[in-house]
Amino acid sequence: MFTTKTFAAVAATAIGLSVSAASAENPMVGGAAMYANKTIVENAVNSADHTTLVAAVQAAGLVDVLNSEGPFTVFAPTNDAFGMLKDGTVEALLQPEAKGQLANILKCHVVGADAMSMAIKGMIDDDGGVHPVPTLGSCTLQATYKGDQIMLEDERGRTINVTIADVDQSNGVIHVVDRVILPPQS
């Protein structure tokens, strides 16, 4: 069975593969430069495409967590991804009484390891084409890829595509995604 510890161990072995990616220039995200010497939050606040995510992280009280040492892999949904949710959902989740629910949803986007795309692809290959990825929110995502495109399936069977991979951070890595990852319905 896959564990976060296994994910971290495999990610660590991929350091040799990701050194060239880490030393390369980070991609621009939301019109802003992303700096490898800044934390996930310090970079995210500069992305015009992630204002909803930043507001959600603040409302959920997770700023200190995502500014901590990590390491973290964050699958960061864009504003457009949040816009795909039912009307009123984001506004309701940003209310103080929804803080716990919002924090759980956001933690479903976070893995306690630093995994660049080559490491994720290696784990997928090692597992025969589908790799389970447990998140800090107790969600398990199913990772696959086709060509250079990494896809995640959440526990509702929805496909989430990584649109920008390998945004190196001082405390992990961001992979920009096109949908909000949702926990299973209760």
Fold held by 4-18+54-177: FAS1 domain (2.30.180)
Q: For residue range 35-69, what is the model confidence (pLDDT) as tens digits?
A: 999 999 999 999 999 999 999 999 999 999 999 99
Q: What share of the chain is helix, strand, coil (3-state, %, to 5)?
A: 40, 25, 40
Q: Which of 94, 100, 101, 47 is nearest to 74 (CA)?
A: 47
How far CA 54 is from CA of 86, 94, 146, 169, in Å, comes to 19, 11, 30, 16
Residues 181 and 109: their CA atoms lie apart, in Å, by 6
Mean pLDDT computed over every residue of the chain: 88
| Domain coordinates in residue numbering, the chain | 4-18+54-177
> Residue 28: which pLDDT band, with cuts at 50, 70 and 90?
confident
Indicate yes or no: pTM above 0.75.
Answer: yes
Q: What is the pLDDT of residues 85-103, one digit of tens each?
A: 999 999 999 999 999 999 9
Residue pair 117/24 in contact (Cβ under 8 Å)? The answer is no
In Å, what is the CA distance from 181 to each residue of 27, 106, 114, 128? 23, 8, 19, 23
Q: How confident is the model at residue 24 (pLDDT cuts 50, 70, 90)?
A: low
SS3 105: helix
Could you give phi then psi for residue 13, rounded to 5 degrees?
A: -70, -20
